[in-house]
Amino acid sequence: MGDGRQRDFIAVGIAVATISDSRTEETDTAGRGLVERLEGAGHRLVEKQIIADDIYRMRALFSRWIADAGVEVIISTGGTGLTGRDSTPEAIRPLLDKEVEGFGEAFRWLSFQEIKTSTVQSRALAGLANGTIIFCLPGSPGACRLAWESLIVHQLDVRHRPCNMVELMPRFLEQ
């Protein structure tokens, strides 16, 4: 809308996955923080799951959400580090139609301001699958706060200028 008219906010349906072998609903501060932030911004929580750091369980859950028209965005927290059990990127990357490289790059640049060189251990990523936007974040509440407040909230707000992902949603599946 290049004519300068104000756009109305568009709420999107968001699913949240906490990737962890040890978190419970009571101890899932990162996932709970994401839910509070997305609802506070006016979006709809479609579903929240805590799932083990297992490639095939993650792919099954994400595939179900990717196929669900009510889920427009998936945000996961956890499994993006370097340990042997951290396998979110390996699980999710094959499901993506397009990777949004700029998200991981921007997240690590912002993270560097807070945690300096420790940010090189982050494998945060984002992409598109069947028109669904996917953000895979580190498991710390601070990383989720940073990603949401600095990047995601703006890209999920159609009023954000000069551009945002919500305004592109209708075109994600163009041939």
pLDDT at 1: 45
pTM of this structure: 0.96
Query: Can you list the residues of the chain whose pLDDT is less than 50?
Result: 1
Phi, psi of 98 (to 5 degrees): -145, 140
* CATH classification for the domain delimited by 29-166, as one of 1.10.3720.10, 3.40.980.10, 1.10.10.10, 3.40.50.920: 3.40.980.10
| pLDDT > 90 fraction of the chain, expressed in percent and rounded | 95
Contact 18, 30 (CB under 8 A): yes
Contact 34, 146 (CB under 8 A): no
73-77: strand order across its sheet: 44-51, 13-19, 73-77, 132-137, 125-129, 98-99
pLDDT at position 6, please?
Answer: 84
